[in-house]
Amino acid sequence: MSKSKSSTPATDAAGLRKGLTSYGDNGFSLFLRKAFIKGAGYSDSALDRPVIGIANTGSAYNPCHGNAPQLMEAVKRGIMLAGGLPMDFPTISIHESFAYPTSMYLRNLMSMDTEEMIRAQPMDAVVLIGGCDKTVPAQLMGAASAGIPAIQLITGSMLTGSHRSERVGACTDCRRYWGKYRAEEIDDQEIADVNNQLVASVGTCSVMGTASTMACIAEALGMTVPGGATPPAVTADRMRIAELTGAQAVSLARSGLTIDKILTADALENAMRVLLAIGGSTNGIVHLAAIAGRLGIDIDLKALDRMGRETPVLLDLKPSGQHYMEDFHKAGGMATLLRELKPLLKLNALTVTGRSLGEEIDLAGPGFGQDVVRPVADPIYPQGGIAVLEGNLAPGGAIIKQSSADPGLMEHEGRAVVFENAADLANRIDADDLDVNADDILVLKNIGPKGAPGMPEAGYIPIPKKLAIKGVKDIVRISDGRMSGTAFGTIVLHVTPESAIGGPLAYVRNGDRIRLSVKNREISLLVAESEMARRHAAMPIVPPTAERGYKKLFLQSVTQADKGVDFDFLRAPEANGKTSG
């Protein structure tokens, strides 16, 4: 009788009994598994506890995750204090500056790695340690597909440095100083000096780039413990958050609160509100669309724009403001921001604590005086940081980070100066004979999801050197790519469909007139339909392909920006609603 019972798969398996490797006899499968793990010195008592997986993304190539060893020790401490068994396991780790051709190209691979390792290995809940731009969305995407209880632990932001008594931090100040260098305002020695000060410790960018954006979004989604977004990487606060995260993971395992109960349409709408209110990275909406797609939920860009008209930018943080992430943390972090946004939020959305977002805001208390998060009555910018544009140049939509754009350029008509791809841009942008002036509009093609491939952050097209030397600080720029959340300027991004698959952007020519109207949410190519039809007929587009490997999979399967640049086969098979705003 006992032998027959041991050979029958358990429907309520937990701990080491989950996902047994098949040897034709479940009893033997568990016997073998326990024998091998005991070789690492575990006792039967330890192995009977809830098993908590810890996704370890430490890597010598990823200084944003340089504190991963310390975080794991704190997480393990929290797990063991709460009665669980911690089991860390490695996954892909992606750093923005160390991933060729772009970190976005590898985000989906990391999400697949995360999902499959969660599925393959026995765990009752998982702690996801991520920080650098694409790691947090990759982990949330993978965990959403895997479906078990999960909790996000952010690695935390770096500290700021000092250059000649000026406070500096990556990477808005990286771009600002490099702009000065290109304009010949500073010399070789000074650019070398500032290079030593921009990144003062391990951790993610200290401004509201994509990493900080995704940290805030993760907390807004209810996927971190309260206060989990803002403690800097090298602080005791960050270690205490890690310990608390480990303990909460055990609670999740025991309650069975799965990730789909937290990542709902309401939670995604809360995240969209926060993205707008923090002046967050334009990458945030791409990642939210990908996370939502794993649950069968559509992100409605029109809803995002409606939200933006009533959600002001409240966070005074670079590049939209002046402060850095450590200042935001000292000002009370996300609790301070959520308190201001409370009338606009879906307060019943559930969090990893088992309490609602509204309950967590109330538990955070009344707040205190500070100058980093503005009141709604006195915002940094009267509308949300991101506006959604439409028009014949972007039938599927495009976006602009209006909170960091030049107000004088947001209603603009100009002559197109066209670059066919990133190589063409690199070869000609600083040429003395480039036919360009400050009223023109720079257009960069073929840097979308398929065109690059991987949709690199090349949308921050540099000011042509001949203009930079004359003091030009901004110019309208348009592409089907992305830009870093640390960047600034009047830059139209995510033009959909992209040029590499025959979107209208592919047919823009030097000298064409383009109209940008952020007020009217318009991006239009002022070329007659008959002329566009002639260009289409004269230049049929053949989408790029590859012969083998991950690149072949990517080019065959990747979706456009409005669907999150995820693989079509990773989206949930059934529709589960959409955000409405």
- Mean of the per-residue pLDDT values for the chain? 95
Per-residue pLDDT, 488? 87
Separation of alpha carbons 231 and 229, rounded Å: 7
The pLDDT tens digits of the residues spanning 537-564 come to 999 999 999 999 999 999 999 999 999 9
What architecture is domain 386-544? 3-Layer(bba) Sandwich (3.50)
Per-residue pLDDT, 213? 97
Residue 494 gets the label, from left (phi > 0), alpha (psi -120 to 50) or beta, of left
Q: Which residues are within 8 A (CB) of 350 and not within 5 positions of it... i.e. 6 or more apart?
A: 222, 257, 261, 262, 264, 267, 356, 357
Separation of alpha carbons 190 and 418, rounded Å: 33
Separation of alpha carbons 233 and 239, rounded Å: 8
Interval 474-485 mean pLDDT: 95
Please say if the pLDDT value at position 571 is more than 60: yes
Contacts 24+ apart (CB under 8 A), 461-465: 461/419, 461/425, 461/429, 461/491, 462/179, 462/182, 462/429, 463/179, 463/182, 463/183, 464/429, 464/430, 464/434, 464/436, 465/182, 465/183, 465/429, 465/430
Q: How would residue 8 be classed by pLDDT, with cut points 50, 70 and 90?
A: very low
Interval 395-409 mean pLDDT: 95
Per-residue pLDDT, 263? 98
- With a pLDDT cut of 70, the percent of the chain lying above it is 98
Half-sphere exposure of 362 (CA within 13 A, CB side): 7
CA 371 to chain CA mean position, Å: 26
Q: Which amino acid is at 178?
A: W
Separation of alpha carbons 543 and 538, rounded Å: 16
Per-residue pLDDT, 12? 65
Interval 60-89 mean pLDDT: 98
CA-closest candidate to residue 456, choices 72, 103, 19, 149 = 103
Per-residue pLDDT, 130? 98
CA-closest candidate to residue 305, choices 406, 388, 422 = 388
Cα-based angle 424, 430, 433 (whole degrees, multiple of 5): 90
Structural tokens at position 568? 């079509």
Q: How would residue 581 be classed by pLDDT, with cut points 50, 70 and 90?
A: confident
Q: How would residue 127 be classed by pLDDT, with cut points 50, 70 and 90?
A: very high
Query: Sign of the C-alpha dihedral, residues 457, 422, 93, 14?
Result: positive
Please say if the pLDDT value at position 3 is more than 70: no
Residue 511's CB is within 10 A of a number of other CB atoms, namely: 11
pTM for the full predicted model: 0.95
Cis amide prior to 216 (ω within 30 degrees): no
Contact predicate 335/367, CB 8 Å: yes
Contact predicate 266/578, CB 8 Å: no
Domain ranges of the chain: 161-195, 386-544
For tokens 């504190």, name the residue: 67
Please say if the pLDDT value at position 2 is more than 80: no
SS3 content of the chain, % helix, strand, coil (to 5): 40, 15, 45
Residue 386's beta-bridge partner residues? 401
CA-closest candidate to residue 352, choices 438, 266, 257, 447 = 257
Interval 363-380 mean pLDDT: 96
The CA-atom distances, in angstroms, between 258 and each of 124, 149, 291, 436 are 10, 4, 15, 55
What is the DSSP code (8-state) at residue 418? Answer: E
The CA-atom distances, in angstroms, between 550 and each of 59, 104, 289, 567, 571 are 21, 13, 22, 12, 18
Separation of alpha carbons 476 and 415, rounded Å: 10
Please say if the pLDDT value at position 67 is more than 50: yes
Q: How would residue 580 be classed by pLDDT, with cut points 50, 70 and 90?
A: confident
The pLDDT tens digits of the residues spanning 169-211 come to 998 999 999 999 999 999 999 999 999 999 999 999 999 999 9
Please say if the pLDDT value at position 90 is more than 70: yes
Separation of alpha carbons 344 and 50, rounded Å: 38
Please say if the pLDDT value at position 4 is more than 50: no
Task: Measure CA of the first residue to CA of the last residue in the chain; give whole Å.
Answer: 57
Per-residue pLDDT, 10? 40
Per-residue pLDDT, 7? 38
Q: Which of 10-14, 32-36, 417-421, 527-531 is predicted with the least confidence, judged by mean pLDDT? A: 10-14
Per-residue pLDDT, 5? 38
For tokens 């090298």, name the residue: 234
Q: How would residue 577 be classed by pLDDT, with cut points 50, 70 and 90?
A: confident
- N residues, the chain: 581
Structural tokens at position 93? 């780790």
265-277 helix and 334-341 helix, angle to the nearest 10 degrees: 100
